[in-house]
Amino acid sequence: MRTVLISGAGVAGLSLAYWLRQYGFHPTLIERAPALRPGGQAVDIRGTAREVVARMGLLDEVRAAHTGTRGIAWLNERGRRVAEMAADAFGDSGGVIADLEILRTDLVRILHDAAAADIEYGTEITALTEESDGIRATFTHGPARTFDVVVGADGIGSGVRSLAFGPESVRDLGYHLGYFPARTRLALDGWEVVYNLPAGNGVGGRVVMLYPLGTSGDCRVLIGFTSPEPISPQANPAAVVTEAFAGAGWEIPALLAQLPDDLYFSRAGEVRLAEWHRGRTVLLGDSAFGGSLGMGTSLAIVGAYVLAGELSTMDDPRAAFARYADEMRDYVAANRKRPPGGASGFAPRTRNGIRLRNAVMRAMPYLPGRQRMLGGLQRSANAITLKPYPALRS
């Protein structure tokens, strides 16, 4: 068992390729995008995931790319700061912002260089067929090939999951989100800011978040809204966002003017599966357990370490998959707990709801049981003990 096909060259797929190479496997990565994807939001590396990054020898490089965000602040309708929470408000890895926050683009670049992986871009798997000595994959481009193992690391909308497990297993979370780079005239001073609008223009509660990138005025924008139904697949995302936020004040008109034509905009969902493997196919990262709150990147990094380690110790991939699931199950469950309020806490529908949420966030650092209210991030981020797989023992 040496050949592994990995669908998805994101954090999960690249991390897995790195570890598989350490154990003498021959991973093949395919990516449906035409190149490594630029842009994207800031992502957190929390708890045990930092230990994995350290074992990869990448911790210093990741720290050097840390966004340096000081904390998160909530604004009122006039754009004035009414609540804030420092990054270290709840201890190491327990804050709303992790002590290691990095742009997804930078993290993927670091992992890509470390994995030294060849990636076949613009390619997707179209069929999977179990055979006696492997699993045969056919592609949108090129001839069919047989591998010992196929890994779906291709995100919440995983094509591998659809092929291997049948109908979708994604629970709708009730909101859309988009991400894009922009410049702002606001002096963010290292603080991420959250600005909300009530329901209007045919959508529910609306939210804009700015992530500062240094002091140049460059930032990453998260923009979204709640709605009972997904937008049409044929709709133009930039046009949908422009219409949803038409007439808004604060910095929003300037941000809308910078919307890219190829805006990344998707419906938020949560993957729910009874098992993460079937035959010689296994799921990793968001494909298997997407939908956590702030832990998706960490789950992918830890999951890649565990999956590669278990494959290195077993001749039968199905036995390795079962061990991987056993190791990860409690850790994943601990990090899928969502705080009270759900989408309504993130994007309240009414002005009074926004004011109430801001008041709660202002009081949060002083409330008894505040860790429990935030989902016990520090505890759940460390809710797994890494096994010293044989190949890593000195």
> Is 65's pLDDT higher than 80?
yes
Task: Please tell me the distance from the alpha carbon of residue 117 to that of residue 42, in angstroms, as a whole number.
Answer: 24
> Is 275's pLDDT higher than 50?
yes
Q: What is the pLDDT of residues 377-389, one digit of tens each?
A: 778 888 999 999 8
For 15-37, the DSSP string reads HHHHHHHHTT-EEEEEESSSSS-
Residue 376 has a CB neighbour count (10 Å cut-off) of 16
Task: Please tell me the distance from the alpha carbon of residue 68 to that of residue 52, in angstroms, as a whole number.
Answer: 21
Q: Which two tokens stand for residue 137?
A: 């994959």
Q: What is the pLDDT of residues 106-159, one digit of tens each?
A: 999 999 999 988 899 999 999 999 998 999 999 999 999 999 999 999 999 999
Quote the pLDDT of residue 394. 43
> Is 193's pLDDT higher than 50?
yes
For 134-193, the DSSP string reads EEEEEESSS--EEESEEEE-S-TT-HHHHHHH-S--EEEEEEEEEEEEEE-SS--TTEEE
Quote the pLDDT of residue 205. 97
CB 149 within 8 A of CB 280: yes
> Is 95's pLDDT higher than 70?
no
Give pTM, 2 decimals.
Answer: 0.92
Q: What is the pLDDT of residues 8-38, one digit of tens each?
A: 999 999 999 999 999 999 999 999 988 877 6
Q: Give the CA radius of gyration of the chain.
A: 21
Helix, strand, coil tally for the chain in percent (to 5): 35, 25, 40
Q: Output 362 or 5, whichever has higher pLDDT.
A: 5
Residue % of the chain over a pLDDT of 90 = 69
